[in-house]
Amino acid sequence: MTMTASTPPSRRARISAPGLDAMAPFIGAVLLIGLGSLAFPQLLSATYLLQQMQIAAYLGILATGATLVVLLGHIDLSVPWVLTGAAIVSTSLVGTGDPTLAALAIPAALAFGAVIGVVNGVGVAFLRIPSMVWTLAVNSMLLGLAVLNTGGFNPRGEASAAMTFMATGDIGPLPASFVLWMALALALGLMMARTAFGRYLRSIGFNEKATYLSGVATPLVVIGAFVLAAMCSAFAGVLLAGYANQAYQSMGDPFLLPTIAAVVIGGTSILGGRGGLFGTIGGAMFITLLTSILSIMQVDQAWRNIIFGAIILAMLLFQSLRRRAG
């Protein structure tokens, strides 16, 4: 069994095949469609599936960003109002009617996300405030800013053609939003696997102190991850504004818990380090399908809540028990 010291380090250690934890939500999604189609054959139609891919992209982009933060061992509760804020920023700029400002809508929304990401990251990395509390406080400040700015009414403005296309258009046979989501996940996935930043991020999730003592500028890595996550939230805000052709108060609130749920049922440990972006794709698809099928079945809100919670619990228990058995 024991080898000598000169065995080369295996490359598998870095780019490992997705485990069963990451596969579970994909399997779950297939089961949902399979079983659901017995009662509702329209679930198997291309139209329905493409539509779900488009909708899943909004949650998927949010969850992709959130995964980075969770891998660090933190959590970002400012998702709802970063999303809403970015939607307000972009639609207001387009609403001015000035073509220059309208062209700046998307970059401005992303820059807004980046700024909030820095605020989040600085509080967590330098002031050492627990991310759960700090991002919550940032979220309520953003809410306050939005109320002050818009007077509590839905902000005026509209989506640009580019925003509408990204949210609802098609690239070839696929929804544009889905393509953008996949491109984003792939880019961030490569970053996690290939760059020092990605390696540091995961190391911090496992043990921040040892990573710092290995001579890593850990605060910058933490801030970087929060910036990327907030930019993902902002991007999702832009897409949702494009989808609805407007921004509206509290448009982000319904997304917070599904985002966290998508990350954890995708097999990423809420404690940090373990997991990855691949599972999150499945998590977002699973949750989108579950919500959609419950609404097709015309289950009322009370039972939707109960079934939603019970299924997420069941998936988590399944993963946990399997891990214990294995």
Q: Which of residues 273-312 bind another protein (CB under 8 A)?
A: 273-274, 300-310, 312
H or E element: which one contains 170?
Answer: strand 170-171
What does DSSP assign to residue 12? G
Residue 127 is given by DSSP the state S
Contact stretch for another protein (CB under 8 A) within 21-29, 89-97, 147-155, 164-172: 147-155
Query: Smallest distance, Å, CB 123 to another protein?
Result: 7
Binding of another protein by 133 (CB under 8 A): yes
Q: Is 134 in the site for another protein (CB under 8 A)?
A: yes
- Residue ranges in 14-73 that form contacts with another protein under rule CB under 8 A: 14
Site string for another protein, 234-273 (x = CB under 8 A): -------------------x---x--xx--x----xxx-x
Min dist CB 197 to another protein, Å, is: 9
| Letter string b/e over residues 4-25, b meaning 16 or more CB atoms within 10 A of that residue's CB | eeeeeeeeeeeeeebbebbbbb
**Residue 6 makes contact with another protein by CB under 8 A:** yes
Q: List, in order, residues 6 or more apart from 265 with CB less than 8 Å away.
A: 24, 25, 28, 279, 282, 283, 286, 287, 312, 315, 316, 319
How many of the other CB atoms lie within 10 Å of CB of 207? 14
Can you tell me which of 127, 172, 325, 326 binds another protein, judged by CB under 8 A?
Answer: 127
Within 199-238, the residues that bind another protein by CB under 8 A are 199-200, 202-203, 206-217
Count of residues that interact with another protein, criterion CB under 8 A: 83
296 versus 299: smaller Cβ distance to another protein: 299
**Should residue 126 be labelled a site residue for another protein when binding is judged by CB under 8 A?**
yes
Which of these, 111, 144, 115, lies nearest to 249 by C-alpha position?
144
**Inter-helix orientation angle 105-125/161-168, to 10°:** 70
